[in-house]
Amino acid sequence: MAEENKKKFGFWSIVLLGLNGVIGSGIFLLPGKAMAMVGPGSIFVYLFMTLVVMAIALCFAECAGKFSRNGAAYVYAREAFGEFVGFEVGIMRWAISIIAWAAMAVGFVTALSAVWPPALQEPYKTAIILTILVGLGILNILGVQMAKILNNLVTVGKLIPLLLFIGIGAFYIKGANFEPMFPKGFEMDSFGAAALLIFYAFTGFEALAVAAEDMDNPKKNLPIALMMVMGICSVVYFMVQAVAVGTLGTDLAKSVAPVADSASAFFGPAGKWLVTIGTLISIGGINVASSFISPRSGVALAEDGMVPRKIAEHSRFGTPYLAIIITVLLAIPVALSGSFVKLAAISVVSRFAQYLPTCLAVIVLRRKRRDLQGSFQVPFGPVIPLAAAAISSWLLTKASPEQLYWGLGALVLGMPLYLLQRYNKKSVL
């Protein structure tokens, strides 16, 4: 038993996995866009989103404290609302995790092209994408221990440049760059649109509980780790935006690489290189986290017979090799399509198909499954889960029709798949 626990993610490895899954390209690329939409007041958008995401994370923490199996939002929705809703959430989770991983593989190539332009040219582009997806797939098949070590190293590597950026940049902030706070006046529509955009930087925390079975004492460790991860990310994000605004001022709104440009403004070319390297490590780290977490969404569905059970089979290394292979094979054509921007936008909207059911599942599970004793409970009764669900719904109204169509389209596609699986079950019986 002791040897088995050594192969699993301990508490601090869970925290690092969470930080790796959340801190990615968003924090390096979004500060300029947020500034363009609402001005220096974008720092308040980050504060607002911190409260929203913490409320949602609290709901995930309570649910995570009740279960020790893979699946996260899928498991919570299935227990609270039945097989069909659970299947829809589970299929959405697996599909979006595949799309998000593919987008991050393309994102790495795009970031690499800033220092090595041939990266976006063929055959280099395809070769790099295949190396990332296939290479990380093989790494995960070989065992959790290898993925854990690489994840820990990459996460520490990506945090160092950001912490240096904040620590040094804070001394170069100019108060005048924050005036006026809202150049166009405060507008709820633009504030909401900016919030939905910035939300992308916070996404990924929900995936932490997907691989619960590969973690040591998940009922106890996951809720605490979730809160710690979101607390750290929120502070880092707010400070990065404050330094970027305070050092670049109005120029931030025009920047394509805002954090790198800000570092260059107060630290010279060395600062820009440091942040660029940090960006590559960051996106590379998200690829590592995605390669580990994405297949576990399929495993959770297979264990319940929602998709063929064979997908949940483990190799001699103790890893779900078929789920990993399927995930890699599906991610390759998506990544080679090269539509990074659209895939990223789709992933933002689609994640609400996990957030809303989980927030409501907190209330339902308290009444329906009193036998489930969790290690954590959201305070103030149903207030926080209901508030989180309401704000999530409001944010969805700020999405464009195209984002809604593509982001939630998988829910419609899941219906015939569910009926087909039900038919196959009855045929077997």
DSSP H helical ranges for 123-187: 124-141, 144-169
**What domains lie within the chain, and their CATH numbers?**
31-424 (1.20.1740.10)
pLDDT of residue 3: 46
Q: What is the pLDDT of residues 121-169, one digit of tens each?
A: 889 999 999 999 999 998 888 765 655 666 667 777 777 888 889 999 9
- Using alpha carbons, list the distances in angstroms from residue 312 to 82, 236, 309: 21, 37, 6
Locate tokens 């998200």: which residue?
Answer: 286
Alpha-carbon distance 365 to 66, whole Å? 10
Work out the burial of residue 378: count CB atoms within 10 Å of its CB; fewer than 13 is exposed, 13-18 middle, 19 or more buried. Answer: buried
Residue 388 has pLDDT above 80, yes or no: yes
pLDDT of residue 89: 86
Work out the burial of residue 387: count CB atoms within 10 Å of its CB; fewer than 13 is exposed, 13-18 middle, 19 or more buried. Answer: middle
Residue predicted with more confidence, 21 or 358: 358
Query: What is the token pair recorded at 82?
Result: 């039945």
> To the nearest whole number, what is the mean pLDDT of the chain?
82
pLDDT of residue 111: 75
Q: What is the pLDDT of residues 348-382, one digit of tens each?
A: 788 888 899 999 999 999 988 877 776 678 888 89
Residue 102 has pLDDT above 80, yes or no: yes
Q: What is the pLDDT of residues 158-200, one digit of tens each?
A: 778 888 899 999 999 999 999 899 988 888 888 888 888 888 7
Those residues with Cβ within 8 angstroms of residue 234's Cβ, 6 or more apart along the chain or in another chain: 46, 50, 53, 54
pLDDT of residue 1: 44
pLDDT of residue 209: 61
Share of the chain above pLDDT 70, in %: 87
Q: Which of 427, 418, 426 is nearest to 306 (CA)?
A: 418
Q: Torsions phi, psi of 351, nearest 5? A: -65, -20
Query: What is the token pair recorded at 380?
Result: 């103030």
Query: What is the token pair recorded at 255?
Result: 């920047």
Q: What is the pLDDT of residues 200-209, one digit of tens each?
A: 788 877 766 6
Work out the burial of residue 197: count CB atoms within 10 Å of its CB; fewer than 13 is exposed, 13-18 middle, 19 or more buried. Answer: buried
pLDDT of residue 2: 44
Question: How many Cβ atoms sit within 10 Å of the Cβ of residue 329?
Answer: 13
> Residue 7 has what DSSP assignment?
T
Question: Are 153 and 159 contacting, i.e. CB atoms less than 8 angstroms apart?
Answer: no
- Using alpha carbons, list the distances in angstroms from residue 212 to 10, 90, 124: 11, 15, 36
> What mean pLDDT comes out for the span 12-21?
76
Query: What is the token pair recorded at 184?
Result: 């166009």
